[in-house]
Every structure is written in structure tokens, then in C-alpha cells.
Amino acid sequence: MACRQLWASRAASYLRISLFHRSFSNVLNNLKYADSHEWVKVDGKSATIGITDHAQDHLGDVVYVELPEVGTAVTQGDGFGAVESVKATSDINSPVSGKVIEVNEELSNSPALVNSSPYENGWIIKVEMSDSGELDKLMDSEKYTKFCEEEDSSH
């Protein structure tokens, strides 16, 4: 990670453009990732879902999280809620299909947990998966890291 940053800095100074002086987003190895920037942690048939460090960083201060009701059905790739920052609203899509078994009520009082702890305390929902085969459609940490870099460089 560090050498990539150094290389990018040198490339940036060659082209005389600015590079943000912040570290690259955190990507955890034991999670799966959707191309809409959600992560999923699998534990048997249960999947915990949230948004990635890359997503919360681009979003800015989260001020509100719209949570679904427990029992709601979710479908892979479809929206189930929203995350609001000071300036923008973004839909959250479920990386897997199934039924919502738990929502993170803490986010009603402390939406900023999504920023400070996107993979732990900022988790959003827990789903009982209907088809664990769907996980194969998701990216692993390495693919997701590359995906983020490509996406950022095309903007």
C-alpha cells in the first residue's frame, strides 16, 4: 500500500497535479465487496452489511441513516435504505438477497459511527441469506481495492 502511494505521489508531481495527502482507504481482507461500495461479513447463513471506508470518506460526515424494518426482504443489488451526509443522499444496496433480521439502532443516535467505524460499530443491517451462492458475484479485498483506484482515477 505504502509503495503505491509513493509511486502515485511521484507521478502526480511529474504531471504537476495535486494529490490528497491522506492515506488510501482501508480495505479488510475477510470481507466481500459490492461495486456500489457495500461490504458483507459472512457468518454461517448470517450476513452483516455496511458501507466501506472508501464510501464513507467520499460521502463526508454522515448525519442520518435510513434503516429498513426487521423482516423486510432484500435483493442483491437493490436499495434497502439510504445514507445522508451534510450535502448529499446516497442509496445503500444490499450485496446479498434474504431477510433483514437485525438493524443497527445505534445509528439513529450516532450516525457518525458510519464514518468513524465503517466495518465495526457502523454496521447497518444483518441479513439471513437466501442464497449464499450470490457471494461469488462479489469482489474480494484485492479486486475491490483495484476497483476503487480505477473508479477514482476516472473522475
Partner 1 sequence: MRGGLWQLGQSITRRLAQGDKKAVARRCFATDSDLKKTVLYDFHVAHGGKMVPFAGWSMPIQYKDSIMDSTLNCRQNGSLFDVAHMCGLSLKGKDAVSFLEKLVIADVAALAPGTGTLTVFTNEKGGAIDDSVITKVTDHHIYLVVNAGCRDKDLAHIEEHMKAFKAKGGDVSWHIHDERTLLALQGPLAAPVLQHLTKDDLSKLYFGEFRVLDINGSQCFLTRTGYTGEDGFEISVPSEHGVDLAKAILEKSEGKIRLTGLGARDSLRLEAGLCLYGNDMEQHITPIEAGLTWAIGKRRRAEGGFLGADVILKQLADGPSIRRVGFISSGPPARSHSEIQDEGGNNIGEVTSGGFSPCLKKNIAMGYVKSGLHKAGTKVKIIIRGKANEGVVTKMPFVPTKYYKPT
Binding residues for partner 1 (CB under 8 A) = 8, 11-12, 14-15, 17-22, 36-38, 51, 55, 58-61, 63-64, 66, 82-93, 149, 152-155
Helix (H, G, I), strand (E, B) or coil at 139: strand
Q: How far is the CB of 50 from partner 1 (least distance, A)?
A: 11
- Which set of grid coordinates corresponds to residue 25? 482507504
Q: Which is nearer to partner 1, 37 or 126 (CB)?
A: 37
Query: In terms of Cα–Cα distance, which of 42, 41, 81, 87 is closest to 62?
Result: 87
Q: Which is nearer to partner 1, 91 or 132 (CB)?
A: 91
CA angle 57, 139, 149 (to 5 degrees): 45
Q: Which is nearer to partner 1, 64 or 147 (CB)?
A: 64
- Which set of grid coordinates corresponds to residue 56? 464513507
Q: How far is the CB of 15 from partner 1 (least distance, A)?
A: 6
Q: Which is nearer to partner 1, 32 or 37 (CB)?
A: 37
Q: How far is the CB of 44 from partner 1 (least distance, A)?
A: 26
d(CA 42, CA 133): 12
Q: How far is the CB of 152 from partner 1 (least distance, A)?
A: 7
d(CA 32, CA 135): 7
